[in-house]
Homo-oligomer: A and B are copies of this chain.
Amino acid sequence: SRSLRLAVIPGDGIGQEVVAEGLKVLTAVLPADVKLETTEYDLGARRYHATGETLPDEVLAELKQHDAILLGAIGDPSVPSGVLERGLLLKLRFAFEHFLNLRPGKLFPGVDSPLAGNPAIDFVVVREGTEGPYVGNGGTLRTGTPQEVATEVSLNTAFGIERVVRDAFRRAAARPRRKLTLVHKNNVLVHAGHLWTRIFQQVASEYPEVTTEYLHVDAATIFFVTQPERFDVIVTDNLFGDILTDLAAAVTGGIGLAASGNINPTGEFPSMFEPVHGSAPDIAGQGKADPTATVLSVAMLLEHLGFTAESAAVEAAVAADLAERGDAVRSTHQVGDAIAARVSG
């Protein structure tokens, strides 16, 4: 019998609630011969307040021993902005070389987009996850004074860009429409932008079957709302990817449905799957949160670990649930139960 060692980080706010439903669906869909071993890690605002720790080294070492990580949401207003984001979430992405931050943007049948006419949206954003303005390089001078200066340094390497651009081309080549859009701002951020553009063009020459285009990030946001159907695969840097994937979630029915994978494709480190949404403290503990984004993240986790049929079953169950959902108000549990029932049946 096989085993799946899963580290679970429910985190803060609605994280706890949605992760429970994700695990419910995972348990229901896994083949009988797969032994699911979950270890829950108490990380986030509670631990930070109790011990001052965000991600101790021992915990990082333990997490590394798992096949994958399922994360709910991190963050609470009681913790200064950046402490948990930089000290926990981004620390995991960087330590485990999650350079492939994969975020599908799909408008499921039955889901209403805020865009008039519900356009046919089905793309995936390949967001670089370990470089760019996210590296945490920068500082302040004359801090707290009227003469303060603050810097943020975006670091970009040919190595780091090439590995994610190659993944995006492979992905685009395997999809029916075979189209890849590079998004950057190479007319202003000329150093980083030209490096991205050069590598993109070099790899493109190995994929003549893939149609390519380049868009500045500002223009890309326009097309996200006026012609989202034009996108197939999008590859972009860490910060632009952050912005575009929230916008993608918005036009495909909201962050209640947006899944993501922080993937280390080499398998050297465990990959981590999480909904795009945050901890939503305003609705935490009320059983109101939509667990669908977490369930779709579980589908990505299954796909990543080679459970292709099970991944497809979860996505199909979600699609069926969404198609019938209508305006009914259901609790977090009810949505999880309904999807779990579909994959077991």
Q: Chain A residues in contact with chain B, CB under 8 A?
A: 75, 81-82, 85-86, 90, 112-117, 133-134, 136, 138-140, 142, 144-159, 162, 185-195, 197-198, 217-219, 221-222, 224-226, 239, 242-243, 245-247, 249-251, 254-255
A226 is contacted by which of B136, B159, B243, B250 (Cβ under 8 Å)?
B250
Count of this chain's copies in the oligomeric assembly? 2
What separation, in Å, do the CA atoms of A152 and B90 have in the docked complex?
Answer: 20
Q: How far, in Å, is A95 (CB) from chain B's closest CB?
A: 16
Contact of A85 among B139, B148, B162, B188 (CB under 8 A): B188
Sampled A-B contacts (29; CB under 8 Å) = A81-B186, A81-B190, A81-B197, A82-B188, A86-B188, A112-B116, A114-B115, A114-B225, A133-B189, A134-B188, A144-B198, A147-B157, A149-B157, A151-B155, A151-B192, A152-B154, A152-B191, A152-B192, A153-B153, A185-B239, A188-B242, A217-B242, A218-B243, A218-B245, A219-B246, A222-B247, A222-B254, A225-B247, A226-B254
A136 — which chain B residues lie within 8 A by C-beta?
190
Using Cβ atoms and an 8 Å threshold, which residues of chain B touch A117?
Answer: 116
Whether the Cβ atoms of B191 and A138 lie closer than 8 Å is yes
Contact A82 B225 (CB under 8 A): no
User: What's the minimum C-beta distance from A323 to chain B, rounded to whole angstroms?
Assistant: 19
User: CA A192 – CA B254 in complex, angstroms?
Assistant: 29
Please indicate the chain B residues that have their CB under 8 angstroms from the CB of A140 in the complex: 191, 194-195
**Within the complex, what minimum Cβ distance (angstroms) separates A300 from chain B?**
20
Collect the chain B residues with CB atoms within 8 Å of residue A255's CB: 222
Q: Which residues of B contact A186 (CB under 8 A)?
A: 81-82
Q: Which residues of B contact A250 (CB under 8 A)?
A: 221-222, 224-226
